[in-house]
Amino acid sequence: MNYKNWTITTHQANEGFLAVLIDPQGKKLDRPRVCLPSPESAEHYAQKFINWYVKLEERRLMAERSARATAGRTSEHPARPFKSAPVV
């Protein structure tokens, strides 16, 4: 089964069904192993994992871009010290 450019395959195990995932770059993800009672439930669990993983990667990339942009601005425009308020 294909889901969001990932491949999900299910296999019967001693205690139920396992899902093995292959990401869009071809990397196999087969851990953690979670046995579920049916192939459909294993696929559903795999889809939930993919959704979580994709969101996590998007947030990580956004944080990296933000850090790079902040570092670029800081090096171009060093912070100016705050002027203290006049003492009355």
Q: Residue ranges of the domains in the chain?
A: 2-73
Q: What pLDDT is recorded for position 85?
A: 59
Q: What pLDDT is recorded for position 21?
A: 94
Q: In the structure, how many helices (H) and strands (E) does the chain have? A: 1, 4
Q: What pLDDT is recorded for position 19?
A: 93
pLDDT in tens, 16-63: 999 999 999 999 987 778 889 999 999 999 999 999 999 999 999 999
Q: What pLDDT is recorded for position 15?
A: 83
Q: What pLDDT is recorded for position 55?
A: 95
**pTM to 2 decimal places:** 0.71
Cα–Cα nearest to 6, from 31, 18, 23: 23
Tell me the pLDDT band of 76, cut-offs 50, 70 and 90. Answer: low
